[in-house]
Amino acid sequence: MTELIHRPRVAVIGTGYWGRNLVRNFYQLGALKTVADSNKDILASISQEYPGLIGVDSLETVLKDPEIKGVVLATPPRLHAEQTILALNAGRDVLVEKPLALNLEDGRQMVRLAERREAILMVDHILNRHPAVIRLKEIVNTGELGRICHVYSRRLNFGRIRREGKALWDLAPHDISLIMNLLGSLPVSVQAFGGSYLTPGTQDVADADLVFPMGVKAHISVSWLNPFKEQRLVLVGLDKMAVFEDSAPWSDKLILYSYRLKWRGLEPEVEKAIPEKVALTEKEPLKEQCLAFLAAMETRIPPSDSSGVEGLQVLAVLTAMDRSLEESRAQLMKLDDPVGEFQTKKIESGVGYSVHPSAVVDSDAVIGPGVRIWHFSHVLQGSLIGSDCNIGQNVVIGPRVKIGQGCKIQNNVSIYEGVELEDDVFCGPSVVFTNVFNPRAFIRRMSEMRSTLVKRGATIGANATIVCGHVLGEYSFVGAGAVVTSDVPAYALMMGSPAKRRGWMCRCGEKLDPGLTCHVCGLSYQEGDFGLKCLGGDDHSPTDKD
């Protein structure tokens, strides 16, 4: 975070457990002028500990000081909406402790008011400022973990038990925000359950299952009644797994595991590797969040992973979980659109997707933001389409088909159950996928379907046929009219019927020279276990989303 020379002046409202930490950080940063609390003894103690601070008894008194440009709220959640609205109406920027509010309507009013006033509104989701999380997001975005398939988070401890509120609302906002930040989307459904053991109606323990686009599932466990402290997040990818343990020493906070499952004949075998510790720069996340708020006050641009809109999205997830908790049994629930009226199809605030009036999307299909579906196409039940895909005319997808982000599927393509496309796959016009190897019209063989996986960045030319039961490696290139009857190595150029390898292709779409170097972008490759392996350089994965 860039250090600011001339810091705007702020006030911290509330000096409880977390308020004291905020006071310490903003004071050390030279930005804190005033502290507000109704307890005079606490104010006297803080004034003695932090010389020069002004102590007042209310937010209203703070707002009379024109020098104070930002208000930091560390008050009980039931006061967040009222106090935020009061501060915004007084022309102040606001950093509010999580959760943003206790109901969606208050949250919407807060976000809309901040936009109307052109004020900064941020929520204190400090884990997004954690060095381990920032590094983990970089690792996820580079694809080092492979396709993420499962996430789970545990936030457990014994103590800080409250007679009002719920463990879910007190502990889970951090995990919800963190998981959405790492996966880059909101969940499409949640299911939650919990238990009240100390105070009736106050759940001390809660668990929640979240389903994200592309079938990624996450599990969150929170509890005030655990014999030991645990703050752990695990991301399970197809290539590697990552573990973020916040309670561990800095050297052990982020560890990667290159465990793989291999088959020896018909028997699965786990192949373990030495865990890889990821080096981190030690920084206090709360201090980084305080710096982010001060920087946003200067630039007038809040960080997207702790903005008011992001806080509203977290509030929408919490609200859906809470409704599930209140039912007599756990219930799978569609999420509300956090900004507008509740809609089952929008999974990201203000983004949505477009469908031509002649196209059909079944009610339980999940469509990511930015997707365009053109004339006469049909997305069948249970299918998942990632963000920013372009689905051409007369395309059939499903049932229960997974398509990654950024894919382009041209006209007259049918993608049936058993076929999966990873991110950035291109399917030319009239590409054919089969899902049964030896079909007969008079013999039902749907139970004999063979799966087909098209890996990241692959291109399939017009009129090509992909016989089921095979894997097309990443960035492979199947020429027009080819018939694929076996696995395709990564980066391979396949042509003919049956298709045979006729060379190698670069990520940028150019044919490699005999030395396995691209004459256009300069990337070099070497042969690996399944095709080529890139030796480094920029990731030339497709960027054209038109």
235 and 248 part of one domain: yes
Residue 101 · residue 77 · CB < 8 Å: yes
Instruction: Report the pLDDT value the prediction gives residue 535, as an integer from 0 to 100.
Output: 86
Which residues, including other chains, have CB under 8 Å from residue 278's CB and lie 6 or more apart?
132, 135, 136, 139, 254, 255, 256
145 and 269: one domain?
Answer: yes
Q: Please report whether residue 301 resides in a domain.
A: yes
The pLDDT, as a whole number, for residue 262 is 67
Phi, then psi, of 443 in degrees rounded to 5? -125, 125
Q: Is residue 385 part of a domain?
A: no
**CA nearest to 471, candidates 508, 408, 426, 419:** 419
pLDDT in tens, 300-327: 988 888 999 899 999 999 998 988 888 7
Task: Give residue 443's pLDDT.
Answer: 83
Residues 105, 158 share a domain: no
Q: Is the pLDDT of residue 546 over 50?
A: no
State how beta strands 267-271 and 225-237 pair.
unpaired
Q: State whether 41 and 162 are in the same domain.
A: no
Q: Strand, helix or coil at 146?
A: coil
Cβ neighbours for 539, distance < 8 A, ≥ 6 positions apart: 142, 143, 507
**Tokens 């382009």 -> residue:** 408
Query: What 3-state class would DSSP assign to 13?
Result: strand
% of the chain residues with pLDDT over 70? 89
Does 213 fall in a domain?
yes
Q: Tell whether the model's pLDDT for residue 542 goes beyond 50.
A: no
Residue 202 within any structural domain of the chain: yes
Q: Strands 465-466 and 432-433, how do they pair?
A: parallel
Reply yes or no on whether the pLDDT at 115 is more than 70. yes
Please state whether 438 falls in left (phi above 0), alpha (psi between -120 and 50) or beta: beta
HSE, side-chain direction, 13 A CA sphere, residue 435: 19
> What values do phi and psi take at 106, rounded to 5?
-60, -40
Rounded-to-integer distance, Cα 330 and Cα 249, Å: 37
DSSP result, 186-202 = --SEEEEEEE-SSBTTB
d(CA 198, CA 253) in angstroms, rounded, equals: 33
Q: Is the pLDDT of residue 42 over 90?
A: yes
Query: Is residue 528 domain-resident?
Result: no
Q: What domain range is 108 assigned to?
A: 9-127+285-307
Among the ranges given (140-154, 230-244, 435-449, 459-473), the one the predictor scored with the smallest mean pLDDT? 435-449
**What count of other Cβ atoms lies within 10 Å of the Cβ of residue 411?**
18
Show the tokens assigned to 343: 């809609």
pLDDT band at residue 82, thresholds of 50, 70 and 90? very high
Give the percent of the chain with pLDDT over 90.
63
Considering only residues 184 and 343, tell me which one the structure prediction assigns the higher pLDDT.
Answer: 184
Same domain, 219 and 296: no
Mean pLDDT of the chain: 87
Residues 64 and 16 both lie in one domain: yes
User: At 513, which amino acid appears?
Assistant: D
Residue 119 lies in a domain: yes
- The total domain count for the chain is 2
pLDDT at 106 over 80: yes
* Interacting residues of 312 by C-beta distance below 8 A, sequence separation 6+: 100, 104, 107, 108, 110, 111, 338, 339, 349
Task: Give the pLDDT confidence score for residue 165 in this predicted structure.
Answer: 65
Residue 226 maps to which CATH number?
A: 3.30.360.10
CA distance from start to end of the chain: 34
Same domain, yes or no, for 26 and 95? yes
Nearest to 524 by CA among 510, 506, 503: 506
Instruction: For residue 519, give the DSSP letter.
Output: T
Query: What is the C-alpha to C-alpha distance for residues 77 and 322, in angstroms, rounded to an integer?
Result: 15
Tell me, yes or no, whether 161 lies in a domain: yes
pLDDT at residue 335 is higher than 60: no
Identity of the residue numbered 36: A
In this structure, is residue 86 part of a structural domain?
A: yes
CA distance 254 to 245: 7
pTM of the model: 0.64
Average pLDDT of 106-116? 93
In this structure, the answer to whether residues 160 and 275 fall within a common structural domain is: yes
Helix%, strand%, coil% for the chain, nearest 5: 25, 30, 45
Do 259 and 190 share a structural domain? yes
Q: Is-contact 384 214, C-beta < 8 A?
A: yes
Residues with Cβ < 8 Å from 45, sequence gap 6 or more?
none
> pLDDT tens digits, residue range 55-67?
999 999 999 999 9
Structure-token pair, residue 349: 């605030």
Which CATH number characterizes residue 112's domain? 3.40.50.720
pLDDT band of 504, cuts 50, 70, 90: very high
Residue type at position 203: Q
pLDDT in tens, 403-421: 999 999 999 999 998 999 9
Q: What is the DSSP letter of 167?
A: H
C-alpha 42/C-alpha 39 separation (Å) is: 5
- pLDDT in the model for residue 60: 97
302 and 273 assigned to the same domain = no
Q: Are residues 294 and 190 in the same domain?
A: no
In the structure encoding, which two tokens stand for residue 116, read together?
């109307």
Q: For 17, phi and psi rounded to 5 degrees?
A: -55, -50
Task: Determine how β-strand 471-472 pairs with β-strand 459-460.
Answer: unpaired
Tokens of 471: 């894997």
Concatenated DSSP letters of 384-410: EE-TT-EE-TT-EE-SS-EE-TT-EE-
Q: How confident is the model at residue 163 (pLDDT cuts 50, 70, 90)?
A: low
Contact in structure between 336 and 159 (CB atoms under 8 Å): no
Token reading at 340: 């507008």
Residues 265 and 302 in one domain: no
Quick check: 248 pLDDT over 60?
Answer: yes
